[in-house]
Amino acid sequence: MLSKVYSGAVFGVDAYEVEIEVDSGHGEPKVVVVGLPDAAVKESSERVWTALVNSGFRPPMARTTVNLAPADIKKEGPSFDLPIALGMLASSDQMVAQGLADWCVTGELALSGEVRRVRGVLPMALRARAEGRKGILVPPENVEEAAVVSGLAAIPVRTLREAAEFLEGKRQIGAFRVDMAEAFGGGTRYDDDYADVKGQETARRAIEVAVAGGHNILLVGPPGTGKSMLAKRVPTILPPLTLEEALETTKIHSIAGVLPAHRALVSGRPFRAPHHTISDAGLLGGGAHPVPGEVSLAHNGVLFLDELPEFHRNVLEVMRQPLEDGKVTVSRAAATVTFPCRFMLVAAMNPCPCGHYGDPQKACRCTPLQMQRYRNKISGPLLDRIDLHVEVPAMEYRQLASLEKGEPSAAIRARVVASRERQRERFGGGSDPAAPTCNAAMRARDVPRHCRLGESANLLLKNAMDDLHLSARAYDRILKVARTIADLEGRADIAEEHVAEAIQYRSLDRQYWS
């Protein structure tokens, strides 16, 4: 007898529907899985066989063929265990399920018949709704993310028997409901705050400008000056996620398997800080079956690269195109997938290998050759893509011993949100999905229209370009940063002082890389 069960599989950041056909015929008891299954899918026959027995069902008594359609796309992972088991029960007349085609099913099976969590449930639920399914059967740990999709019943099933009885109508399981106000509207609470940071007013101001316009920033200074402390507090002043951004970010985290159990949405902007030993595949994404890397996990959030020159040069160089395009394409022999990666880059580094170049209190021990090698680890094209280069100097004792607290993150965030709102209105208020959402994302054709300079400001920038030998990309970066500084002040026009401040944020062009 032939039965059909519908499930889903992930490709890139989206899912496609998989039709699972199960046919029980004649011959020796054997389960054959076809349709380009990987090793994990092939092994499902053994898990399903044992789970059926331990759940009180009869295992297949004849040759059983399982076909995963479409057959020309590689299937991977254990998420087909539960739908295959239900298909076997239906094909062997152990389960009479009316309307089986109304449901999408996903879940890994333990040998006991327990249903375990899987990756990519949110994109599967979105695909099930697009295909007109009534609902989706998912593991209990995944039900919150499935319930986010409106118009689709998310049914948590703990065991194989529970799933079978539900589909037969013998057991009632209510659809799980998510309180969206609690899951998303409440926002994220942070333990860190800029009020804890003493001194470093220049760096704090630069970070505020960077966040207000979505600009990339590089902090340069001796060890122990607070570079990491400043960077780790960047999420506390970022504007809140929109619902669309939250769904997009949650999909990526779900596919990568880093979304915590019983989490409906990623409600706060991500902050990713990979170690400098990371490979290019770990940073951009990859593998035989490509999965998102750190740049995609930081989508709509912050990617923090501490000790920037310690990263392998080839790893840093592959970031150049994602920084420009906001997406990364991973090509393999079997498939080519594209992951979004619009993030704010925050990097930190020492000015030299020993860390004390330019430090008035400690002498630098580095030779010119050592310093040149250290600086050459960061190429000019990559440096051009970082809008703000900021020096973080060593602090004096009186600053460290001061009991006075700095400005809290809430006050800075209020100015950032107001600035972002001005930018959103400037770029059409969200009416055009392709329009930029912040100044850093301005397209080449938008810069002349929104970053017009007066005569004095234009002359100042011309002199800076000549004296510092800046590239055309650096020119655009300065204009965008100046536009952000003006937005923070609520000014419609870019004044000379805005351009002057933006030029000051190119410290590596002025000193270290000159």
pLDDT in tens, the chain (514 residues): 789 999 999 988 899 999 999 998 777 888 889 998 888 888 899 999 999 999 999 988 888 999 999 988 888 889 999 999 999 999 998 988 778 999 999 999 999 999 999 999 999 999 999 999 999 999 999 999 999 999 999 999 999 999 999 999 999 999 999 888 777 765 567 888 999 888 888 999 999 999 999 999 999 999 888 899 999 999 999 999 988 899 999 999 999 999 998 888 998 899 999 999 999 989 998 877 788 999 999 999 999 999 999 999 999 999 998 998 899 988 876 678 899 999 999 999 998 999 888 777 788 899 989 988 888 888 888 988 899 999 998 877 666 666 677 899 999 999 999 999 999 999 887 667 777 889 999 988 889 999 999 899 999 999 988 888 888 888 999 999 999 999 999 999 999 999 999 999 987 764 444 4
pLDDT at res. 188: 67
CATH T-level fold of 194-512: Rossmann fold (3.40.50)
CB 353 within 8 A of CB 374: yes
CB 485 within 8 A of CB 502: yes
Which residue carries 């300079």 as its tokens? 453
Within the chain, all domains assigned CATH 3.30.230.10 are found at 2-178
pLDDT at res. 514: 41
pLDDT at res. 397: 61
Q: Tell me 506's DSSP state.
A: B
pLDDT at res. 62: 84
Residue 476 identity? D
Residue 29 identity? P
pLDDT at res. 102: 93
Strand 14-24, strand 2-11: pairing: antiparallel
Within the chain, all domains assigned CATH 3.40.50.300 are found at 194-512
pLDDT at res. 431: 66
Consecutive H or E run containing 150: none
CATH T-level fold of 2-178: Ribosomal Protein S5; domain 2 (3.30.230)
pLDDT at res. 276: 94
CB 75 within 8 A of CB 81: no
pLDDT at res. 292: 93
Report the distance separating Cα 173 and Cα 137, nearest Å: 10
> Exposed (0-12), middle (13-18) or buried (19+): which is 110, by Cβ within 10 Å?
middle
> Exposed (0-12), middle (13-18) or buried (19+): which is 140, by Cβ within 10 Å?
middle
Which residue carries 């209105």 as its tokens? 425
Give the global pTM: 0.89
CB 321 within 8 A of CB 340: no
Residue 45 identity? S
